[in-house]
Amino acid sequence: MIICLAYILGLLLSIFPWGGFFILGFGVLAAISFRRVFLALRRFFPYHIKSITPTPFTLPHPRVWLIAGLVGLIASFYCQFRTPQPGSQDISSFISSENNTNQAQLVVVRGEVVNTPRLTRSQRGQFWFQAKQLDEVKNDRGPAGLPRVVTGKLYVTVPILQATGLYPGQQITVTGMLYKPKPADNPGGFDFQKYLRQEGSFAGLIGKQVNLIDEDIPWGWWQIRQQIVRSQVRFLGVPEGPLVSAMVLGNKAVDLPHSIRDLFVNVGLAHALAASGFQTSLILAVVLQLTKSANKKVQVFCGALGLIIFLGLAGLQPSILRAVIMGFAALIGLALDRKVQQLRSLLLAATLLLLFNPVWIWDLGFQLSFLATLGLMVTATPITQRLDWLPPLFATLISVPLAATIWTLPLLLHIFSTVAIYSVPLNIIATPLISIISIGGMISGLVSLPLSDLGAHVASFLYYPAHILIKMAEFFDHLPGNSLNIGSISIWQMLIIYGLIVATCLVPWWQKRWWLAGLIATILAVIPIWYYTSNLLKITLLATNSEPVLVIQDRGQVTLINSGDPGTGRFTILPFLRQQGINHIDWAISTNFSGDANNSWSEVINNLHIKNFLDYTSPHINPVTTQTLRELLRQEQTNYQPLSSGQSVNTGSVMANFNDDKLPILQLQVFGQNWLLIGSVKSQQIAQLAQDGKLLSPQVVWSPSESLEDLTTALKPQVAIAPTNKVNKNSSDQILQGKTKLFFTGRDGAIQWDPQQNFQAFIQVSENESSNL
């Protein structure tokens, strides 16, 4: 066990330059001193040392520590060696810098479809694509080049009709535009570049047209999977049918509607959609029960066959592989008439998987699966024993979700910054339904293979359990305070909390004072972010495509200005507020900067309470749209105040004035600074505005790039910000000559200001932090 743990620790510490040598040094030190120290303590304190819970670490031989240190060192180098890197012929190396701007080159890529297409949130088909050949399409800039032999994996999106009928293994060509993925450009945002890198991909393709090269359909597990899904959806419909299929095969093997996936994630039922240990346990239990009259060889063979079929249908996902390996360990124990040590089985499964692919150590699904299983092994039983005053069935229903939550919550806080308040009670209530749906889904899936119609009829009996489960999740999702934004905890906070959890499992003193460990962990997670936000002065200009979106934090009071285009609220504003531990907005100011009714206020209002909403109404906006917004705010008990153009407001933190008679101009006074946010203007308009006295001397100017040079020349601000990737070089040089600091949110990400660091670009700060690691 020590050697396996050293290997895993070596992989985790591979992000540090000397992480492997640290493990080696610790192994040498432990080999020299650990045994002597333990024996000395046992001699002087025999009673206390004997009371220590026996573990595999009690008296290991010194050579074990030395081997463990060497294994940890090798693991750190092995992880770096296996980390995906683009090769010399990788298709990403053929993307010019211009291709990530508005001058993308049209290309034709030939290759092989890797997986069954899925539907994205933007209603496009998405699939992974193994590139083999690249051709440039001839255009006005010159003739196309010769075809190039390329390698690499592409993230492809195409119109949904173009993706219909594509299957894994098909040879096709895709015509579209290549691009390199961008890192997260806002705090708390999705890091698309990191996601593709973990999948071994370094480029994406926005496809316009798909052409088949070989129309022969190769056999694959996807055909069986598709038959099961079609059979279950036939009478169940949507979303109940895909939900049943996802609970049997996993959500990565089934194209589950995003609304259902988001709902289950929000309320803490995401594990029900991830095929792993629960499904393998059911498979083995059913198979062994059906073959109990046969000899052990038949039982082991049937159990192994069931696990292999499940693995083929669900796919080679880390969490599923972990569950299948542990299932095989249980079968081996059955064959040898030996009791399987679950903890060692889990550690062996994790080590084997990480030997096969060490990069999985950073896969969130692998981490959560490992931690949840560990929690069930070491924490569920003690919780059940403390609930001995309850009937055993109810005690188990409580202990299982509670144990899994205890072990996964610190990691979830570090990654997602939020807690589903009703997760444990909902899991307690939903467990019987999840069991019924999973067992019934497996039976209907097996029946549908030879008899599709009969399988569909069997699945139809699962409609009400699936429908009730969805309605139950919706009910808890709409309860007040259904989620709490704690804020992102640091990796050191997370490690200390896990140290406390481990101590309550291994150290008798902490086992008796588990409540103290829980109290310390809660304080450690909540107090630092509370103190930080209560004393924080910060302005964040988020990287958005159209209108400027600002979040102003003033010692716990939060002001949000504008909401951006549809989708900005869900994917930009809300993730940022979660990361900051913000659970309500004190003041929201809507300026309708973009000049149309397209905004994402409803996305924000449906997820966070807004106390005061100030709305600069525009005569150009459809009254129905304004009335819909007012009704939504009334339901949320928000104080709504309409404002006329040119009317000033004071929230205590911000003084704002918005004027859109001729063009949108938003003037802000915040933390002693004047900010001017202005739409596209012409040179003569700038002169007229200055003459009319509408442009005060600002420290910060935000404007589209075509207006920025004239504005900075006329106003001479300290900072100029454009919502683009860049401006032309002449304009940039002209601005910089005037000693104005220049930022581009399309290139630099969100721009943040605070009294200590002044103005900073988020992407640059993130890169510096990564370099420090």
**pLDDT of residue 673 exceeding 80:** yes
Please give the residue that has the higher pLDDT: either 764 or 594: 764
pLDDT of residue 273: 87
pLDDT of residue 500: 94
**AA identity, residue 76:** S
Q: How far apart are CA 432 and CA 465, in angstroms?
A: 10
* Contacts for 103 with CB less than 8 Å, ≥ 6 apart: none
Q: How far apart are CA 353 and CA 567, in angstroms?
A: 37
pLDDT tens figures, 609-659: 999 999 887 666 667 677 888 888 888 889 999 888 878 899 888 998 887
pLDDT of residue 771: 47
pLDDT of residue 40: 63
Q: How far apart are CA 207 and CA 264, in angstroms?
A: 31
| Selection from 54, 179, 58 nearest residue 109 by Cα | 179
Q: How far apart are CA 353 and CA 345, in angstroms?
A: 12
Q: How far apart are CA 530 and CA 582, in angstroms?
A: 10
pLDDT of residue 88: 87
- Binned at pLDDT 50, 70 and 90, residue 572 comes out as very high
For helices 296-314 and 318-336, give the axis angle rounded to 10 degrees: 180
- Binned at pLDDT 50, 70 and 90, residue 155 comes out as very high
Q: Tokens standing for 580? A: 């900051």
Residue recorded with tokens 């919706």: 474
Q: What DSSP string describes 233-274?
A: HHHH-TTHHHHHHHHHH-TTTS---HHHHHHHHHHT-GGGGS
**pLDDT of residue 596 exceeding 80:** no
Residue recorded with tokens 């890197």: 85
Lowest mean pLDDT among 15-24, 107-116, 197-206, 522-531: 15-24
Q: How many CA atoms within 13 Å lie on the side-chain side of 243?
A: 32
Q: How much is the average pLDDT of 574-592? A: 91
The answer to whether 15 and 76 are in contact (CB under 8 A) is no
pLDDT tens figures, 692-715: 666 677 889 898 867 777 778 778
Q: What DSSP string describes 507-526?
A: -HHHHHTHHHHHHHHHHHHH
- Binned at pLDDT 50, 70 and 90, residue 482 comes out as confident
| Selection from 278, 391, 367, 364 nearest residue 324 by Cα | 278
Residue recorded with tokens 């610790």: 26
139 forms beta bridges with 142
Q: How far apart are CA 600 and CA 618, in angstroms?
A: 17
Residue recorded with tokens 């103005």: 759
The answer to whether 711 and 678 are in contact (CB under 8 A) is yes
**pLDDT of residue 411 exceeding 80:** yes
| Residue percentage of the chain with pLDDT more than 90 | 34
Q: How far apart are CA 272 and CA 468, in angstroms?
A: 14
* Contacts for 352 with CB less than 8 Å, ≥ 6 apart: 325
pLDDT of residue 773: 43
pLDDT of residue 210: 93
What are residue 36's phi and psi, to 5 degrees? -65, -45
Q: How many CA atoms within 13 Å lie on the side-chain side of 288?
A: 15
Q: How far apart are CA 438 and CA 430, in angstroms?
A: 12
Lowest mean pLDDT among 96-110, 118-132, 386-400: 96-110
- Binned at pLDDT 50, 70 and 90, residue 591 comes out as confident
The answer to whether 64 and 2 are in contact (CB under 8 A) is yes
pLDDT tens figures, 328-368: 888 888 888 888 788 888 899 999 999 999 999 998 888 99
Secondary structure letter of residue 572 according to DSSP: I
Lowest mean pLDDT among 61-70, 181-190, 628-637, 735-744: 735-744
**AA identity, residue 739:** K
**AA identity, residue 146:** L
The answer to whether 416 and 581 are in contact (CB under 8 A) is no
| Selection from 120, 451, 410, 134 nearest residue 261 by Cα | 120
In terms of pTM, does the model score above 0.95? Answer: no
- Tell me how far CA of residue 96 lies from CA of 93, 103, 175, 184, 417, in angstroms: 8, 10, 17, 21, 37
**pLDDT of residue 172 exceeding 90:** yes
Q: How far apart are CA 418 and CA 127, in angstroms?
A: 30
Find the distance separating the first CA and the last CA of the chain, reported in whole Å: 28
**pLDDT of residue 139 exceeding 60:** no
- Tell me how far CA of residue 147 lies from CA of 90, 132, 134, 567, 699, in angstroms: 14, 10, 6, 38, 52
| Selection from 133, 204, 138, 206 nearest residue 172 by Cα | 133
For residues 640-677, one letter each, b for 16 or more C-beta atoms within 10 angstroms of the residue's C-beta and e for the rest, the string is beebebeeebebebbebbbbbeeebbbbbbbbeebbbb
The answer to whether 248 and 279 are in contact (CB under 8 A) is yes
